[in-house]
Chains A and B, each alone.
Chain A
Amino acid sequence: MMNQIVQGVLLGGYYALIACGLSFMFSVMRIINLAHGSLAVLSAFALWLLASRFHIPPFLGLLVVLPLMAVIGWALQRFLLERSARGGALLPILTTFGLAIVIDNVLFEQFGADTRSLAPFIGSLSYDSWEWPGSIYVGKLAVIIFIAAVLLLGGLQLFLTRTGLGRSIRATSEDPDTAGLVGVDARRANAVAAAIAMVTVGLAGAFLGMRATFDPYAGATQLLFAFEAAVIGGAGSLWGTLIGGIVLALAQTLGATVHPQGFLIGGHLAFLIVLFIRLYTSGLGLRGLLGLASGKAS
């Protein structure tokens, strides 16, 4: 049991990593990016291409891919999301949904349906483990991912609260018009936020490729996990995202011990339970919450 909890918590680190970009984009730019998972898979394919074609190991490949993801994020915001946001609150969701389909199918056309992994390119790291007291074996990679998640979330938190650019991004998310009146370039702040979100996605994609396998259509599953972790943790809260990731992973691990196919069900159940508790305790009920949502959209 102890073993499962430890493995669950470590897996939660990965979920937090993939969820944090989604949660960040939602809280700062009010955009639910449905292409989130596909962009993570895109990053994984980019690293795989560098590794298999040019023999650049994935950790080194990140030096190329992460800046590239930042540029993609910037361009995405400037040329796609910013324009579609002018058409109302729903349009960016549809736009990112379309973008996900485009990315998935371009990847399919380029790389075919084969399942890939970055594990062969990182040596023994993919299966090395440490033995902890109580004969618990923890994978080195899982620990690295967990630490990376904590560092990333902590770094983002520090960036948002301690730097001028971070403050500008928070001000823009609160009130873009007034942000402009105090001297913040709201367009730039949003573009920087999108670039940062894409860097986190790129990192998540790298770890996805190292710890598991991926194929061109793997994005939807990653989006689902990210979405569940973000909602459980309370969308918009960075440390909540870590808790959300851990709760999701623990529920999945627990589900898997109950039934061999209980892994996904366990996660979904935890997600639904948290969602209904939120609805119930918000005192609004489903109708009230929907009213609130449509009020916000207008």
Chain B
Amino acid sequence: MSLLSIEDLVVRHGLLQAVRGVSFTVERGETLALVGANGAGKTTLLRAIAGAHQAASGRVQFDGADLSGVPSHERVRKGIALVPEGRRLFVQMTVEENLLLGRTAGRPGDWSVERVLETFPNLKSRRHAKAGHLSGGEQQATAIGRALMSNPDLLLLDEVSLGLSPLVVDRVYASLQGLISSGTTIILVEQDLNRALSVSDKVICMLEGRIALAGESKNVSRDEVTKAYFGLHRAGGVPA
């Protein structure tokens, strides 16, 4: 059974349909990269999986259970954690407090404040600093750490490289590589196509709320994805 299965999902923002009938599955331990232009519906899709948006129709099934109507805090308890776009840290609270908040759901597991600080050594000296006073890279590490503190089965990463210098992005991805090889299931939204293809097992390219291309990352050429990205390609990839 797939860890996550999405069937014909539609999400609306008012009158606008941001996600228009998307279906795919993610197996345990897989890394799925979501790519696509701005406004293609990637963020909305992740937020709908995390419960920040309710689906207008269609289904999200996680670990065999239907998530319709389940609020976001309950989904964290079931094992879904989102690192939101723009980090969305609690800026008036310290790094440690932000991390501890991630533990609210009370899921058992190995993640602790100490382990997050081991994983992101740049946070060690900033433990008691207000999150609002951190650099972009430190904020991103805190946001990822906060999500990991809930010991998720499925980690959703929304543009973790946004606004970071290339050097810091490398460092963030080096930390993520450890998570990926430890078997955490991950869906990530990434603008950098090369990076997206190199870290993932499967890739989905979205266009105007629909899946334009889906396939195994190693079998998809950069050219194919670029075409799908701009809408020059009709869904011809292997359905994921």
Contacts and interface: CB of A to CB of B under 8 A. Distances in A.
A164 B88 CA distance: 19
B235 interface: no
A179 B105 CA distance: 11
B92 interface: yes
Interface in A206-257: none
Contacts of B102: 182-183
A131 interface: no
B161 to A, nearest CB: 20
A178 B84 contact: yes
A179 B76 CA distance: 11
Interface in A164-205: 164, 167-168, 170-171, 174-175, 177-186
B100 interface: yes
A174 B92 contact: yes
A278 to B, nearest CB: 20
A51 B12 CA distance: 58
A171 B90 contact: yes
Nearest to A170: B93
Contacts of A175: 88, 90
Interface in A126-173: 161, 164, 167-168, 170-171
Given A164-B100, A164-B104, A168-B101, A180 B93 contact: no
B51 interface: yes
A181 B50 contact: yes
Contact of A181 (B77, B82, B92): B82
A184 B93 CA distance: 15
B210 interface: no
Interface of B: 50-52, 71-73, 76-77, 81-82, 84, 88, 90-93, 97, 100-106, 146-147, 150
Nearest to B88: A178
Contacts of A174: 90-93
A237 to B, nearest CB: 12
Nearest 5 A/B pairs, CB to CB? A183-B105, A183-B76, A180-B72, A183-B104, A178-B88
> Which of B77, B100, B104, B106: most chain A CB closer than 10 A?
B104
Contact of A177 (B52, B97, B147): B52
Nearest to B107: A183
Contact of B73 (A164, A167, A170, A180): A180
19 contacts: A161-B97, A164-B100, A164-B103, A164-B104, A167-B104, A168-B104, A171-B90, A174-B90, A174-B91, A174-B93, A177-B52, A180-B51, A181-B73, A181-B81, A181-B82, A181-B88, A182-B104, A182-B150, A183-B103
Nearest to B72: A180
B100 A167 contact: yes
A184 B97 contact: no
Nearest to B149: A182
A178 B51 CA distance: 11
Taking residues whose C-beta sits less than 8 angstroms from the other chain, chain A's interface range is 10 to 19
A43 to B, nearest CB: 32
A215 to B, nearest CB: 41
A167 B81 CA distance: 19
Nearest to B100: A167
Contacts of B100: 164, 167
A182 B92 CA distance: 16
Contact of A186 (B73, B77, B81, B103): B73
A182 B146 contact: yes
> Which of A161, A168, A184, A186: most chain B CB closer than 10 A?
A184
Given A167-B101, A168-B101, A184-B101, A178 B150 contact: no
A230 B81 CA distance: 38
Contact of B52 (A180, A184, A185): A180
A167 B92 CA distance: 11
Given A164-B104, A167-B97, A171-B101, A183 B150 contact: yes
B84 A181 contact: yes
A179 B93 CA distance: 13
B125 to A, nearest CB: 21
Contacts of A179: 73, 90, 101
B73 A183 contact: yes
Nearest to A187: B71
Nearest to B102: A182
Contacts of B52: 177, 180-181
A182 B51 contact: no
A181 B101 contact: no
A180 B106 CA distance: 14
A185 B76 CA distance: 10
Contacts of A178: 84, 88, 90
Contacts of B93: 167, 170-171, 174
